[in-house]
Amino acid sequence: MLRKTIEVALNKQINAEFHSAYLYLSMSSYLQSIGMAGCANWMKVQYQEELAHATRFFDYVVERGGRVQLSPINEVIVDFKNVLDVFEETLRHEVTVTGLINNLMDICINESDHASKSFLQWFVDEQVEEEANVEQILNNLKLINGEGQGLLMMDREMQSRVFVNPFPAKA
């Protein structure tokens, strides 16, 4: 059984994951509108990953006998300056999410909820990867000044990203 404090904190994280998904879908739409189909694809996969994260939190709350209560999703940015601006915002967002996951882990440690700590460890590790991936993209974008032939080549590479469910259904 989940303690109330943990249940509330996990519910907040479900909302944050859906908010991330909504933000990345908004970014995908913007990227598509400026003809960056590959980057739009990358962001759409990012959106799918966030949905998978939200669902994993949802399932965990249910598994532990808790109650999921969905709350409204905050508004997201719909307009950006350019591709670089999108990925700078993505990095800022992921750093914020890392903070949320760390806070959540602190709550679980304070409550001595070892099962939730173990569950959350995957997300702690995932955030390291998320930040590193976006930093890499940002570095590449800066190298090409976010424009020209280089940007077109990068866009083509971003087209190859495919969604792989990190939590395949248990047999």
Q: Which residues bind ligand FEO (CB under 6 A)?
A: 17, 20, 50, 53, 94, 97, 130
* Residue 2 contacts residue 59 (beta carbons within 8 Å): no
**Nearest distance from residue 56's CB to ligand FEO, in Å?**
9
Cα–Cα distance between 15 and 33 in angstroms, integer? 27
Residue closer to ligand FEO by CB (options 45, 144) is: 45
How far, CA to CA in Å, does 97 sit from each of 38, 66, 104, 118, 166?
25, 23, 10, 18, 18
**Nearest distance from residue 64's CB to ligand FEO, in Å?**
20
Minimal CB distance to ligand FEO: which residue?
Answer: 53
Residue closer to ligand FEO by CB (options 101, 151) is: 101
Phi, psi of 138 (to 5 degrees): -60, -40
**Nearest distance from residue 24's CB to ligand FEO, in Å?**
8
Give the distance from CA 148 to its chain's centroid: 28
**Nearest distance from residue 5's CB to ligand FEO, in Å?**
21
